[in-house]
Amino acid sequence: MEDDINSVPLNPYESIPVVPPQSKSPIPKKIIILIVIVLLLISSVLFFILQKQSLKKPVDYIPITPSVTSKQVTPSISAVINEIVTLKKGINTTVPNADISLTFISKEDPPRGCADCFSTTEIEIRTKSETKSLLYVCGGIAGNCTRKLDAYGYNVELTKNLDPTVIEVKVSNK
């Protein structure tokens, strides 16, 4: 008996199973997601690098356009100061080539054998209108020493403690 297609009864309510065609893309989804993540990381790193470089870029010039109301501005030239000054206790000493004066106020040394004590040296710095005390501290448990302090645009470095009444300092521009 030959099977004839016409001999098979067709049921209109019966559906024939259909498998949807599977489309295979040439690039898997995981690789696409990985590429997108890598590109985002690279672009964010480049953004931060370029942003930092633009902040560090020095200004070559500032264009100034002359106007009728502009005034002539003369630049102030300050000399480089690098002076070594000997200070005697209680005597006001003017620093050469600078607009400040220094006074050695006091020096306190710790008692001998005290491991966690510290020594202090106080210097007073004066301009024409202001006065400020600089306190140099050395010793303590950590043994740290403050040798250089700044005030009024100058660095004042304690170089030598010659004796309780005389010290030597180095004054330089900031």
Strands 131-139, 144-145: pairing kind: antiparallel
Run of H or E including 108:
strand 101-108
Beta bridge partners of 120: 108, 137
What was the pLDDT predicted at 76? 47
Q: Hey, what are 173's tokens?
A: 């521009």
d(CA 97, CA 85): 12
User: For position 38, what pLDDT does the model report?
Assistant: 95
Task: Determine the pLDDT at residue 75.
Answer: 47
Q: Following CA atoms 139, 142, 145, 146 in sequence, which dihedral angle do they give, to the nearest 10 degrees?
A: -120
Tens place of pLDDT per residue across the chain (174 aa)? 455 556 656 666 666 666 666 666 666 788 889 999 999 999 988 888 877 766 555 555 555 555 555 555 444 445 677 888 888 889 998 888 888 899 999 888 888 877 778 888 899 999 888 899 888 888 777 767 778 888 888 888 888 877 788 888 988 887
Q: Bridge-partner residues for 93, per DSSP?
A: 102
For the chain, which residues make up each domain, given as ranges?
A: 27-57, 82-173
Query: With contact defined as beta carbons under 8 Å apart, do 167 and 174 qualify?
Result: no
pTM beyond cutoff 0.85: no
pLDDT reported for residue 77: 47
Query: Are the C-beta atoms of 172 and 81 separated by less than 8 Å?
Result: yes
Q: Could you tell me how many helices (H) and strands (E) the chain has, helices first?
A: 1, 9
